[in-house]
Amino acid sequence: MKHVVIGTAGHIDHGKTALIRALTGRETDTLKEEKERGISINLGFTFFNLPSGKKAGIIDVPGHEKFIKNMLAGVSGIDLVLMVIAADEGVMPQTREHFEILQLLNVNKGIIVVTKIDLVDEEWLDMVLEDIKKEFKGTFLENAPICKVSSKTKIGLDSLAKEIDRLTEDVSCKDVRGHFRLPVDRVFSISGFGTVVTGTVISGSIREGEQVQIYPSKVLSKVRGIQINDKQVKRAEAGERCGINLANVKTSNIDRGDVISLENLMEPSLMIDCKLHYLKSAPKPLKNRQRVRIYHGTSEIICRVVILDKKEVNPGEDSYVQFRLEKQLTSQRKDRFVIRSYSPMSTIGGGIIIEPSAKKAKRFNEEYIEELRIKEKGNTQNILEGVIKNLSENYPKEEDILKALGKNEVSIKNQLKKLVDSGIIILLNGGEKTVYLHKDFLNEKINVLENILEKFHEDNPLKIGISKEEIKNKVFGKKIKQKIYDCIMEFLENENVINTYKNFVSLIDFQPKYNDMQNDIRKNILSEFKKQKFIPPKYSDLESMCKDKKSFKMVFESLVDREDIVKVSENFWLLSEYYEKAKDIVINFIKEHGSISIAEFRDELQTSRKYALALMEHFDAIKFTKRMEDKRILY
């Protein structure tokens, strides 16, 4: 399913915390000094019930310049920003700095929220709005919705909630099939539970009971419990804000900025190679070996910057650089970062990590710089990945990929294996030919599948799931062959996305649950069928015994779905126990006598001819028996 995290940004005292409180009814300032001083020092976390019924995580970040490092920790995982600007003050210094950070971290969706409109007149408000439009011209907020609100009087809050709901529809699905990563933004201890960490899952998923490793210390731990939106859950996945209760680890073993991931999956480093964009607003050129602060995920590390391709970097320029860190950083290729000057602190640049575990590099080494260019732009493996991503809708075989790529078979086999081994490409052995699917394509299909199943379970709490054929048509379309579809279903079941039972599909954690009244109905139905054996009760007779017709229908259909009762023909059902007994009677009789007639079958069952005939015709239809004149033999 799609998970969305919303973040606030903006100058101090422009009403970010009050806005979240007005929208959600929850308080995000939790520290004593925050409440006393009236400003947010730490990150505040809560969730927002959107008008459509979806839930979104929401992060309140501090606006004060002194607490900008906390703002960076919060904004690194957001999908949608609420750029908060007070109507009585307009755009201010931290407004600009927060916005520069958002752009450096590639946040590209947002809403401009003009707060405190109850404090100004229309003429002043129009002037502020004009300034805001000029400020964000040419940026991702140029055409963003502008919502005018008052957290005090509640004016405009409904419209803002609808805009947030609308924009969350365009948020891309997260990498839930990748490996699990959670940058830690808070660490604390709860009496009786022990150590708890919080953060936003940026890739993959984690389940209760799984073993994890804390980086860079590489301390091993186990997930004792997971909480999302104040509720205990069994699983958390990319895009969700969660708290994780860790076993056998002290709070002193974990710091903000650490990464929780899987064992032996990542390699912390004291050197990283990066592509840096140095902001136009930087006050002076960036010097080689200048001391700076780097912000990645939720970590802040002091380092020196080695400029690889220039003597110095002027404001507005890009450069290849190597950061030599004072403590280890745990990162991956294409992760984004921000840098601030060491003292006095101000945001001066940011970019992407090209090599997360770099070798010590010499300046002006053209060969090394060219390697960085190739890594930045992507190699043959990257091109191959792109081709498969584009072809995934058609479930491509190796020859389809070769045609699109224009390469011979030998040249891509190793690259294909690497992509499969890394989890970027999913290999499915569907019959004669192997099919390759990009994980993003599969993630999109999984998102649609989970939404369909979630809605179905909500509307049909006693049904065990949707038929495989219906899922096939609704999610995967007509192009997919049955063998490939069966492979995908098997893969999703192995990945703990779904459960399959007979011909039905359900979400992994779903279990039909009867309430007390429904359980009584269930017992009565099964009792009547057991009592009447091979002369079973009619549906209408059973229904007349129950006052709540709707509940009776739900329970009866659930028993049929679970095959506790087997449908033989219209208005003729048998308890599964007697259905199997009838089969055994046929097998044993035919083995002894060579064949069986309807009259003989009727006598063996001690039932009427009507039921014996209907049951035998059913056996013919499922190819259990075969009619030979007026008798039956085994098929």
Q: How confident is the model at residue 40 (pLDDT cuts 50, 70, 90)?
A: very low
Q: Is 43 helix (H, G, I), strand (E, B) or coil?
A: coil
How confident is the model at residue 35, as a pLDDT? Answer: 43
Instruction: Taking residues 281-304, report their average pLDDT.
Output: 94
The pLDDT value given to residue 429: 82
Please give the backbone phi and psi of residue 294, each rounded to the nearest 5 degrees, phi first. -105, 140
Contact predicate 504/465, CB 8 Å? yes
**Residue corresponding to tokens 């805001």:** 132
Q: For residue range 171-180, what is the model confidence (pLDDT) as tens digits?
A: 776 777 777 8
Q: Which residues fall within 8 angstroms of residue 347, CB to CB, at 6 or more apart?
A: 68, 97, 100, 101, 104, 279, 338, 339, 340
Q: Which of 197-211, 327-341, 365-379 has the least mean pLDDT?
A: 365-379
Query: Which pLDDT value is given to residue 406?
Result: 53
Is 80 exceeded by the pLDDT of residue 459? yes
Q: Which residues contact 618 (CB under 8 A, 6 or more apart)?
A: 568, 569
Distance, in Å, from the CA atom of 14 to the CA atom of 518, rounded to the nearest integer, reads: 54
Q: What is the DSSP string of 140-191?
A: TTTT--EEE--TTT-TTHHHHHHHHHHHHTTSPPP--SS--EEE--EEEEET
116-128 pLDDT tens trace: 999 999 999 999 9
CA atoms within 13 A on the CB side of 413: 3
Strand boundaries in 454-502, DSSP class E: 466-467, 498-501
Q: What is the pLDDT of residue 28?
A: 54
Q: Which residue has the higher pLDDT, 607 or 55?
A: 607
Neighbouring C-alpha atoms within 13 Å toward the C-beta of 519: 5
The answer to whether the beta carbons of residues 497 and 475 sit under 8 Å apart is no
Q: How many CB atoms lie within 10 A of CB 635?
A: 10
* Arithmetic mean of pLDDT, 39-64: 65
**All residues at 6 or more sequence positions from 46 whose CB lies less than 8 Å from its CB, including other chains:** 20, 24, 26, 28, 57, 58, 60
> Across all residues in the chain, what is the average pLDDT?
86
Task: Give residue 287's identity as a one-letter amino acid code.
Answer: K
| Tokens linked to 438 | 């990009």
Q: How confident is the model at residue 67 (pLDDT cuts 50, 70, 90)?
A: very low
Q: Is the pLDDT of residue 63 over 70?
A: no
Kindly write down the DSSP assignment for every residue of 425-453, as one continuous string.
EEEEEETTEEEEEEHHHHHHHHHHHHHHH
Task: Give 561-606 pLDDT, tens digit per residue.
Answer: 778 888 898 889 999 899 999 999 999 999 999 999 999 999 999 9
The pLDDT of residue 416 is 87
Cβ–Cβ < 8 Å for 463, 502: no
Per-position DSSP letters for 313-328, written without gaps between them: E-TT-EEEEEEEEEEE
Band of residue 519 on the pLDDT scale cut at 50, 70, 90: confident
Please tell me the distance from the alpha carbon of residue 141 to that of residue 147, in angstroms, as a whole number: 13
Contacts of 465 (CB under 8 A, 6+ apart): 453, 456, 499, 500, 501, 504, 505, 506, 510
Burial of 483 per CB tally in 10 Å (0-12, 13-18, 19+): middle
Contact (CB, 8 A) for 604 and 619: no
Domains and their CATH numbers in the chain: 5-168 (3.40.50.300), 181-261 (2.40.30.10), 269-377 (2.40.30.10), 378-511 (1.10.10.10), 516-634 (1.10.10.10)
